[in-house]
Chain A
Amino acid sequence: MQKKFEKVLMPVASKLGNNVVLMSLRDGFLIITPLIIVTSIFLLIGNFPIPGWSEFWIKVCGPQFPDWFSAVSNSVFSFTGILSAIAIAYAYGKNRGLDPIQSGMVSFISFLILTPTSIVLGKKTVSAVETQFLGPNGIFLGIIIALISVEIYRFAIKRNWTIKMPDGVPPAVTKSFDALIPSALVVVFFFLIRILFSLTSFHTAYNFIYTILQTPLKHVGISLPSVLLYNFLASFFWFFGINGPSITNSVWQPIFFVSTQDNLKAFQNHASLPHIYTQPFIDLFTTYGGGGSTLALLIVVFAICKSKRLLELGKLAILPGIFGINEPVIFGLPVVLNPVIVIPFILCPVLNTLISGIVMNLGWVAWTNGVQLPWTTPPIISGWLATGSWTGSALQIVEIILNILIYYPFVKMLDKQYLKEEKAAAEKDLDIDFSEV
């Protein structure tokens, strides 16, 4: 059975994991992620979830207090579309063997070519760019521009459509001339695309992609069944030793990225939050202590286990586990290829997703505001900070207790088995004494 699954899964996982486009999307988003986390902290300080927080600081620092912090958070959140275009093109160019900086730059310029550069204010038209085109709503456009611009650039480079400089010319100059014709080709292409869209009822490529692609994809991707499938697969792959999230993220990450940015923007503007299913939802309300929600497993180990092996592992793994790192459990227990533990390992994240989705939908628990905390933030604290409400922490506590109940019979079974092995081994002296040699 396991072998059969593996035969079917391996090629799929391998294809997804090694697909250069998906890999570049993942790498590109990873370039922006640290910036989002850092600026999220500024947003969080500016809007700390304690009643009267902002009012208190405005009294102390003056009315400009919120502006100081929003200036920092805006620097990233209002430009995620264009940042995606640059970062993904950088990663895609690098994976395609091109100069990554040049790839990022042509994508950046292409994005600007397609961006409307005038705003109608009453009867006057002024030259300006609205940040709505550059932010979360432009992320899908950014992805598409990054991939197309790099492909066109590569098309020209592959055919050697470059201006050759004589020997002795400094490398920086040669490089710059190398990029001339390929860059021109990209610019002309997007110039034509801009004209093309201006002739349609969409007027801009932005409107077209947003209406035709981003909105429908968001509806499908940011739904309970989709998120359930995501978490099922992420845990299921681990059983075979495959880093599940690295596969599933390549498919889902762009969608979660957009929904998270939508919520952040709304949170910043004190508007109602549009989505339940965001990256913080996945990180903080579906698993506790790492993939498979193994914090509960460790708690059960401490509560009931007598096997030395499990207790030793528990001692070593609990501290990293609180911070969401569970490598010692996955490889040390092990979870990999362990048919007993795989059942709760899959069941817990799926059930947590279902419960969190339902209670948030019912309005019993506050939705995640999009603030992206470091994924190592321990549960209970993270639930409060990510939702700005104690209900987030309460949900996490309930789900951890539920996960403990789910893990209990399976860990007990494992404990019995290990105890038996240890007892048998103890009778024949388990330790190898290296002082004998």
Chain B
Amino acid sequence: MKTIIILDQIQAGLGGDERSDTPLGGKKIAMGSADNVEKALEAVNGEIIGTFYCGPKYYQQNKEIVQRKFSKMAEKMEADVVIVGPTFDYHDFAEMAVEIGTAITENTNIPVIGAIAKEKNQELIEKYKDKFPIVKMPKKGGTGLAESLDNLAKGCQILTNKGDIAKFKGSYCY
């Protein structure tokens, strides 16, 4: 299962808030916190074939370009599934994640799944939860991180195999 993960610069391990203007980029490995997602994916025969990253500030100023390039590159790399997040409770990242996730869902045939904490993001979740599955996860420093990453991996597997996503959504998503 070839997976692409989309992160902001903090989760990709490229710096803090002050680097929010990091332009879009990517590497063909699991960067930063994608490491933990990859470990969870390994349990369901998945691998990360690429980490796409972008600072939320850069994204805000170049939305159309980022959405288009990420969609096209995911298609070019023949990903089976795209993960947006995990965003924890970082609001700007969560906003970027749901918008990019929606763009990929609408412009490609690749399924998308997200992981967002409800803290600070309740409105976003309400607005986008029907566009693609958004797995429940804790805020930064909250409890239940490992469990939510396992659920995220399970979701990727179901989406790739075109399994019963409705049941999965009922149990682990918003």
Contacts and interface: CB of A to CB of B under 8 A. Distances in A.
Contact of A10 (B28, B36, B50, B144): B144
Given A242-B141, A334-B35, A316 B24 contact: no
B143 A336 contact: no
Given A6-B147, A331-B33, A432 B26 contact: yes
B66 to A, nearest CB: 9
B12 to A, nearest CB: 8
A123 interface: no
Interface residues of A, number: 36
Contacts of A428: 28
Nearest to B139: A243
B79 to A, nearest CB: 12
A10 B16 contact: no
Interface string B37-78: 001000000000010100000000000000011001100110
Interface in B11-29: 11, 13-16, 19, 24-29
Interface string B144-161: 111100000000000000
Given A240-B146, A309-B13, A328-B15, A431 B39 contact: no
B120 to A, nearest CB: 16
Contacts of B147: 6, 10
A434 B26 contact: yes
Contact of A432 (B11, B36, B73): B73
B143 A242 contact: yes
Interface residues of B, number: 35
Report which residue of A6, A332, A430 has the largest number of chain B beta carbons within 10 angstroms of its beta carbon.
A332
Contacts of B138: 241
Contacts of A243: 140-142
A17 interface: yes
A313 B19 CA distance: 13
A156 B162 CA distance: 56
A6 B144 CA distance: 8
A345 B72 CA distance: 41
A430 B146 CA distance: 28
Nearest to A328: B16
B145 A336 contact: yes
21 contacts: A6-B146, A17-B143, A242-B143, A243-B141, A243-B142, A246-B141, A316-B15, A327-B16, A328-B16, A331-B13, A333-B13, A334-B32, A336-B36, A432-B27, A432-B28, A432-B73, A434-B24, A434-B25, A434-B26, A434-B73, A437-B68
